[in-house]
Amino acid sequence: MTFLKGSLLVLGYFFVAHSFKNLFGFLGKRKFIKSNELLHEEWARYSAFYKYQPIDLVRKYFGEKIGLYFAWLGVYTQLLIPASIVGIIVFGYGVATVDTDIPSLEMCDERLNFTMCPLCDGACDFWRLNTACGTARASHLFDNPATVFFSIFMSLWAVLFLEHWKRRQISLSFSWDLTGIEEDEVNNESQNAEMYTSAKHTHTHTPSFPTKLTWKDRLPGYFINVSSILFMFGLTFSAVFGVIIYRITVSALMAMSPDPETKSNVRVTVTATAVIINLVVILILDEIYGAVALWLTELEIPKTETTFEERLILKAFLLKFMNAYAPIFYVAFFKGRFAGRPGNYVYVFNDYRMEECAPGGCLIELCIQLSIIMLGKQLIQNNIFEIGIPKLKKLVRAIKDKGTAQKESEDERPPQQWNRDYDLAPFEGLTPEYMEMIIQFGFVSLFVASFPLAPVFALLNNVIEIRLDAKKFVTELRRPVAIRAKDIGIWYNILSGMGKFSVIINAFVISFTSDFIPRLVYQYIYSQTGTMHGFIDHTLSYFNVSNFKSGTVCNLYIVFPFRYKDYREPPWSAEAYQFSKQYWCVLAARLAFVILFQNLVMFLSLVVAWVIPDVPKTIVEQLKREKKLLVEVFLQEEKDKFQLIHSLFSKDPPRHQRHLYGSPLPLISYDLV
């Protein structure tokens, strides 16, 4: 009978207005009221991290929307496993080859002593390249051919993830019986739900206005929107710039210190501290931006709840994305590119010299930046914002209720379930949960070329994250009103957008931030032996100390020319300090690589998306079967109806009585309505 039931259910929602369904759902939930214990046992415990999630139970208890969130989180975490395995292998390759890597060996070699131009004016002295040995060795860990392969792999991984999720979503919406529901139905429901949950901004965005708003009414709202978003961007950029200034000054100060140990690590330490400042700024601004996005969206007065949510998400995403990635973008693509050259440096506030990149490439700094921001963001958000704050709020509420406590204590009844439920924090919606994951997805996809371990950390975080969220939903929050949803909505678009964006970003990171292309060019064009020997020498240009502006350098007892990391003509050439032929050659190679990489990856992703069918085979067959059964049932019913009518005309009570009892017609019609 199960197939009949299934088919009749399908038959049901094709016709019956949705209210009936809600009723059933409601009854269903009542029946499973005790399932929260079960959820707590099987799902909402850290000790259950290795188990699959009981998604159907989650959906039964929390409704489709939250069920989909956890299903999505599960798929994402699951797919992070292969990614992190490959990531570890790639990192292992870096570790294994660090001692055989010629460029870093050359940098650490005492014998070929390159005397480099000072890192800062006045205080700083000329320095030996081999003091930056550590940086060079470290940067090789992330800047090696395996990384190129890995970033291609990760771009395809992102496509694979989206395709896989599409399939999962379809099979879920089939088994959860969502295939039929329309947008508008979802809207209405979530609107009603919204009524209960957050009454605080319903008055603004439910269409409580009798008249339709004209563009004149909306114009100021949009104007404020655009202007304040631009202002927020400005805020973000200025924060980044402030940190840059900090970095410049501190590195100048540290470079003055006599201790060579400090000197050699100046870059790493400065970067680290600067990044921590960045992190704090990001975390603070994140909270502000969340509130701003909400406020701005309310100004727009969207019609339905769905549009409200979508616009809110888009704004919040835009702001938080900028906020989280602006410093990383700076390090990856701008740092050290506008530093100028010895004797003609670029100055900010005409006494701070723009910072340069490490001799080992900016990649190591980018890597530090990424790892600290990613890990810090996750740890702090998980611990403080998701555990600490709620507990604090609870405490506050408890204290507030102290006053009313006396009254309660007077009558002896123990506090009822509903009292205890009411004491819990209200449900704030899924947006923050998704947002956190999306930003993390950015770390995993956008800059993976510079930090192959990102998937590993993401995986570790998510294994905890799932149980953390589960715990929170089951024990910490009031049970949210179940909201129907047939997909994860705009988040999917954001994800696929990031996937596309990551391709070009990775291409630029590999070709411009890392030293991959210069190495190739040297090996195949300039190297006499066809090996990497002499690469370092090739990347350093000559500079004649006499060309320094007087006073910028302390001790001029040295006379032989100095080196700096750039492709420029030597002082003795006709066009001294102009970009050399090598510079243009390498630039061309880098750009060619970008084109090649981008188009190759895009083509491969198209192939992957084309190979994987959106709808699983099993579902297709099942749908066909159900359709067939529907037709049969329907025709059967029609036949019975005809016989019935027929029998009415031919006066023969017993026959049509018999027939009536035999016919499935009444049952079916009850099932339907």
Indicate which single residue of 421, 584, 615, 625 sits in contact with a copy of itself (rule: CB under 8 A): 584
| Interface with a copy of itself (CB under 8 A), residue from 108, 299, 504, 576 | 504
Asked if residue 608 binds a copy of itself (CB under 8 A), the reply is no
Q: Following DSSP, what letter does each residue of 188-256 receive, concatenated?
A: HHHHHHHHHH-TTTHHHHS---SSPPPHHHHHHHHHHHHHHHHHHHHHHHHHHHHHHHHHHHHHHHHHH
DSSP character for 340? Answer: E
Q: Among residues 349 and 661, whose Cβ is nearest to a copy of itself?
A: 661
CA atoms within 13 A on the CB side of 6: 15
Site pattern 135..174 for a copy of itself (x: CB under 8 A): ----------------------------------------
Q: Is 285 helix (H, G, I), strand (E, B) or coil?
A: helix
What is the Cα–Cα distance from 339 to 336, expressed in whole angstroms? 5
Kindly state whether residue 37 participates in binding a copy of itself, applying the rule CB under 8 A.
no
> Least separation, in Å, of the C-beta of 624 and a copy of itself?
7
For residue 356, the minimal CB distance to a copy of itself (Å) is 22
Pick the closer one to a copy of itself by CB: 99 or 183.
Answer: 183
Stretch that binds a copy of itself, among 133-141, 187-195, 352-360, 638-646 (CB under 8 A): 638-646
- Please report where in the chains the tokens 């809110």 appear, as a residue: 312
Q: Does 673 bind a copy of itself (CB under 8 A)?
A: yes
- The nearest distance, CB 587 to a copy of itself, in angstroms, is 4
Q: Smallest distance from the beta carbon of 672 to a copy of itself, in angstroms? A: 7
Spatial separation of the C-alpha atoms in residues 594 and 180, rounded to whole Å: 44
Residue 383 has a CB neighbour count (10 Å cut-off) of 12
Tell whether residue 666 is a contact of a copy of itself (CB under 8 A).
Answer: yes
Using the contact rule CB under 8 A, the part of the chain among 260-268, 294-302, 541-549, 576-584 near a copy of itself is: 576-584
User: Which residues, listed in sequence order, are joined to residue 568 by a DSSP beta bridge?
Assistant: 579
Amino acid sitting at position 192? N
- Tell me whether strands 344-345 and 340-341 are parallel, antiparallel or unpaired: antiparallel
Contact residue for a copy of itself among 9, 354, 587, 604 (CB under 8 A): 587
Q: How far apart are CA 100 and CA 533, in angstroms?
A: 12
d(CA 445, CA 440): 9
CB 128 within 8 A of CB 260: no
Q: How far is the CB of 293 from a copy of itself (least distance, A)?
A: 21
CB of residue 159 to a copy of itself, shortest distance in Å: 15
Interface pick for a copy of itself out of 206, 523, 598, 636 (rule CB under 8 A): 598
Is 11 or 116 the residue whose CB approaches a copy of itself more closely?
11
Q: How would you classify residue 487: left for phi > 0, otherwise alpha for psi between -120 and 50, otherwise beta?
A: beta
Q: Kindly report the CA angle at 444 between 238 and 338, in degrees rounded to 5?
A: 40
* 585 scored as a contact of a copy of itself (CB under 8 A): yes
Residue of 410, 581, 650, 662 interacting with a copy of itself (CB under 8 A): 581
Pick from 253, 638, 652, 658: which binds a copy of itself (CB under 8 A)?
638
Contact characters 7-26, a copy of itself, x per CB under 8 A = -------xxxx---------
**Interaction pattern, residues 168-207, with a copy of itself; x per rule: CB under 8 A:** --------------x-x-----------------------
Distance between CA 263 and CA 269 in Å, rounded? Answer: 10
Tokens of 24: 């059933």
Q: Which residue's CB is nearer to a copy of itself, number 14 or number 196?
A: 14
Residue 345, classed as helix, strand or coil, is strand
**In the numeric block, which tokens belong to residue 66?**
């939250």
Residue 138 CA to residue 451 CA, distance in Å, equals: 12
- Gap between the Cα atoms of 494 and 500, Å rounded: 10
Residue 419-438 contact track with a copy of itself, rule CB under 8 A, x = bound: --------------------
222 touching a copy of itself, by CB under 8 A:
no
Residue 347 has φ and ψ, to the nearest 5°, of -115, 140
**If binding is defined by CB under 8 A, does position 624 make contact with a copy of itself?**
yes
635 contacts a copy of itself (rule: CB under 8 A)? yes
Phi, psi of 426 (to 5 degrees): -75, 160
Binding residues for a copy of itself, rule: CB under 8 A, are 14-17, 182, 184, 504, 580-581, 584-585, 587-588, 591-592, 594-595, 598-599, 624, 627, 630-631, 634-635, 638, 641-642, 644-645, 648, 656, 660, 665-666, 669, 672-673
